[in-house]
């Protein structure tokens, strides 16, 4: 049931009618052509002044096309848009996900044991901690070899089956925290309904030593259920004749879900199910039981450290003044480029190989959250919302797509992420890596003028090709070291950045109706592909022809 909007702190003037928005429009016309070269020349302290720090992360936002007045107006926009009240409503357990009538409380997943977070008058923290304790016991058992497979062999392979929020977080964090993982365990993540994914990820595994974690909030997702069923077949075929199928499955399959009924229908003992709650969105769930595979890899203590990092950033977001608030600053800078400069994409460029999947993780977090075209009250927006988020680790990206960021015609704001200490000291690699972070942001901001190019003796023909206009905006985020705690803070930083932007745009960042239509249509087409005779097809002529061609040629 859609609750009346006046019940929510987001009831407010339309975005474009807010005084700060109007003022920003006027201001934009004045500063649009300002150059970072000039801004830095005028203010020797800019690079130290326009920085903020919180939860172990240092943000340098000085290489953005903003003045002090821009920031003042952007923060005024945050106030007028009611972002703070909305933030407090989220932390307070109000049902701010109006289209699903749910609270949004991923922050409760990392609240300390003794904290109180109320949902409908009930403190949910004890439930969260109870599940964490059960997860820890289970993870410990697997790590210690006391949880064995059905033939008594210790589990050595853990395969998480899930998709979207039930996959991307564990995949990303497992890669990010590999350094802290038990290397005697093999972790695999199966997500794609393409059978190749399951086949390739299981082909070298011994079923006797393999545990499947079926992760699905709903336990109805087509891809996950198909993979889970095939994994069951693979396991039973690999084990040969078993005496008691249910007892065998119980040793090799556990579930993470909110849907106990579907879990037991599938054949997994609900004693081996780890729950979470409808107030945890899929893309905000990696710090719930969805993180079980990660917890097995890095251990319960490492997982608790990760949660502590999330909580550090939650507290920073909740309490730091807007001027020093990292998620707020990243959020408003994104709005500045998206809505005033018309930037369509935003790149996230981690200079750490362990963060290889961080951009992919952020794609779901950001694009599923803020890829919306109506406001909370259902009006079509008359401004742009979420950008396309993309990226891959430096320095590889430098040799692929940075050319376009430096000299192309699109404005692409970028976040550069780096660490002062490496986890793998191999001199001089880390200095080389970090030199590239600093060099790239310097080059993007200040470029190289025609005069500089000519002064180098470059001829008139070539000179235009060698000019770097610069004025390409970047943020640089530095942390000392990639630890579980720092990773937690980094993820929470982006969660809250997305929140700030969604609140400014007055959209619901917590539903995802846009993925439904395709799911429904696929459900209709499956029986048409599998029908014995020639099925009657009622689609458009293109879809009908494609289905017929596929049926005729699939062999
Ligand atoms: O892609 C849509 C979506 O609902 C995501 O929001 C979610 O993370 C994913 O599917 C998986 O859902 P489930 O955990 O219910 O299998």
Nearest-CA residue for atom 6 of ligand 1: 282
Q: Is 153 a catalytic residue?
A: no
pLDDT in the model for residue 7: 52
pLDDT in the model for residue 4: 46
Q: Is 214's C-beta closer than 6 angstroms to any atom of ligand 1?
A: no
- The neighbour count for residue 536, using CB atoms within 10 Å, is 8
Match domain 36-65+324-505 to its CATH number in 2.40.160.20, 3.40.50.11540, 3.20.20.140, 3.40.50.10490: 3.40.50.10490
- The neighbour count for residue 265, using CB atoms within 10 Å, is 10
Q: Is 217's C-beta closer than 6 angstroms to any atom of ligand 1?
A: yes
Q: Is 163's C-beta closer than 6 angstroms to any atom of ligand 1?
A: yes
Candidates 94, 208, 305, 368; catalytic one: 368
Q: Judging by DSSP bridges, how do beta strands 414-419 and 345-350 pair with one another? A: parallel
- Say what percent of the chain tops pLDDT 90: 97
Nearest-CA residue for atom 2 of ligand 1: 515
Do 36-65+324-505 and 110-303 show the same overall fold? Answer: yes
Residue 163 Cα, ligand 1 centroid: separation in angstroms? 6
> 401-442: per-residue pLDDT in tens?
999 999 999 999 999 999 999 999 999 999 999 999 999 999
Dihedral, CA of residue 221, residue 224, residue 225 and residue 230, to nearest 10: 160
Query: What is the CATH class of 110-303?
Result: alpha beta
Spell out the domain ranges in the chain.
Answer: 36-65+324-505, 110-303, 514-552
The helix or strand, by DSSP H or E, that contains position 212, with its residue range, turns out to be strand 210-215
Please tell me the distance from the alpha carbon of residue 325 to that of residue 315, in angstroms, as a whole number: 10
pLDDT in the model for residue 555: 87
CB distance 493 to 57 below 8 Å: yes
pLDDT in the model for residue 9: 46
CB distance 207 to 266 below 8 Å: no
Please tell me the distance from the alpha carbon of residue 298 to that of residue 484, in angstroms, as a whole number: 9
pLDDT in the model for residue 359: 98
CB distance 191 to 162 below 8 Å: yes
Q: Judging by DSSP bridges, how do beta strands 253-257 and 345-350 pair with one another? A: unpaired
CB distance 171 to 189 below 8 Å: yes
SS3 372: coil
Which residues of the chain are modeled with pLDDT < 50? 1-6, 9
Q: Is 179 a catalytic residue?
A: no
The helix or strand, by DSSP H or E, that contains position 474, with its residue range, turns out to be strand 474-479
**DSSP secondary-structure letter at 364?**
I
Q: Is 164's C-beta closer than 6 angstroms to any atom of ligand 1?
A: yes
Match domain 514-552 to its CATH number in 1.10.1390, 2.60.40, 1.10.10, 1.25.40: 1.10.1390
Residue 151 Cα, ligand 1 centroid: separation in angstroms? 34
pLDDT in the model for residue 393: 97
Residue 226 Cα, ligand 1 centroid: separation in angstroms? 14
Q: What is the ipTM of this complex?
A: 0.98
Residue 217 Cα, ligand 1 centroid: separation in angstroms? 7
Closest listed residue to residue 63, CA positions, set 416, 492, 420: 416
Residue 221 Cα, ligand 1 centroid: separation in angstroms? 7
Task: Write down the residue that tokens 């190019």 correspond to.
Answer: 453
> Taking the model in full, what pTM does it have?
0.97
Q: Is 165's C-beta closer than 6 angstroms to any atom of ligand 1?
A: yes
> 337-392: per-residue pLDDT in tens?
999 999 999 999 999 999 999 999 999 999 999 999 999 999 999 999 999 999 99
């Amino acid at each position: 049931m859609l609750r009346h909007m006046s019940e929510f702190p987001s009831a407010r003037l339309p975005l474009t009618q807010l005084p700060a928005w109007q003022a920003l429009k006027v201001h934009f016309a004045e500063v649009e052509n300002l150059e970072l070269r000039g801004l830095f020349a005028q203010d020797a302290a800019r690079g130290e002044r326009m920085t903020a720090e919180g939860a172990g992360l240092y943000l340098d936002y000085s290489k953005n096309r903003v003045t002090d007045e821009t920031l003042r107006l952007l923060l005024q926009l945050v106030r007028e848009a009611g972002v703070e009240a909305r933030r407090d409503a989220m932390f307070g357990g109000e049902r701010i996900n109006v289209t699903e009538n749910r609270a949004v409380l991923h922050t409760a997943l990392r609240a300390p044991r003794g904290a109180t977070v109320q949902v409908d008058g009930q403190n949910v923290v004890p439930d969260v901690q109870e599940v964490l304790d059960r997860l820890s016991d289970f993870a410990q058992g697997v790590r210690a070899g006391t949880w064995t497979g059905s033939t008594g062999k210790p589990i050595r392979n853990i395969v998480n089956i899930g998709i979207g929020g039930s996959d991307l977080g564990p995949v990303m964090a497992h890669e990010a925290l590999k350094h802290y993982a038990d290397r005697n365990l093999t972790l695999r993540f199966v997500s794609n309904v393409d059978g190749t994914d399951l086949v390739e990820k299981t082909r070298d595994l011994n079923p006797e030593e393999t545990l499947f974690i079926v992760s699905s909030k709903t336990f109805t997702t087509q891809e996950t259920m198909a993979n889970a069923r095939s994994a069951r077949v693979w396991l039973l075929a690999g084990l040969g004749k078993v005496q008691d199928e249910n007892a065998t499955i119980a040793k090799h399959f556990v579930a993470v879900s909110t849907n106990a009924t579907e879990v037991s229908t599938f054949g997994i003992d609900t004693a081996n199910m780890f729950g979470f709650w409808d107030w945890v969105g899929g893309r905000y769930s990696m710090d719930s039981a969805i993180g079980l595979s990660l917890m097995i890899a890095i251990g319960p203590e490492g997982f608790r450290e990760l949660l502590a990092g999330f909580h550090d950033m939650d507290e920073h977001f909740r309490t730091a003044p807007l001027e020093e608030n990292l998620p707020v600053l990243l959020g408003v800078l994104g709005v500045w480029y998206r809505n005033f400069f018309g930037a369509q994409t935003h790149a996230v460029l981690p200079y750490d190989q362990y963060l290889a999947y961080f951009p992919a993780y952020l794609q779901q977090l950001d694009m599923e959250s803020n890829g919306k075209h109506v406001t909370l009250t259902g009006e079509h927006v008359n401004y742009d919302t979420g950008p396309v988020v993309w990226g891959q680790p430096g320095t590889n990206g430098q040799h692929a797509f940075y050319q376009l960021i430096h000299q192309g015609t699109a404005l692409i704001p970028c976040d550069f992420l780096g660490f002062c200490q490496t986890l793998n000291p191999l001199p001089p690699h880390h200095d080389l890596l970090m030199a590239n972070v600093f060099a790239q942001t310097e080059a993007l901001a200040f470029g190289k003028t025609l005069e500089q190019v000519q002064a180098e003796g470059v001829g008139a023909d070539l000179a235009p090709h060698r000019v770097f206009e610069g004025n390409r905006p970047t943020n640089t985020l530095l942390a000392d070291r990639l630890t579980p705690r720092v990773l937690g803070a980094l993820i929470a930083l982006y969660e809250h950045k997305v929140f700030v932007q969604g609140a400014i745009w007055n959209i619901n960042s917590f539903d995802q109706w846009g993925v439904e239509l395709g799911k429904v249509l696929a459900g209709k087409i499956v029986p048409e592909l599998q029908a014995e005779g020639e099925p009657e097809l009622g689609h458009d002529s293109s879809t009908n022809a494609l289905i017929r061609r596929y049926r005729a040629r699939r062999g």
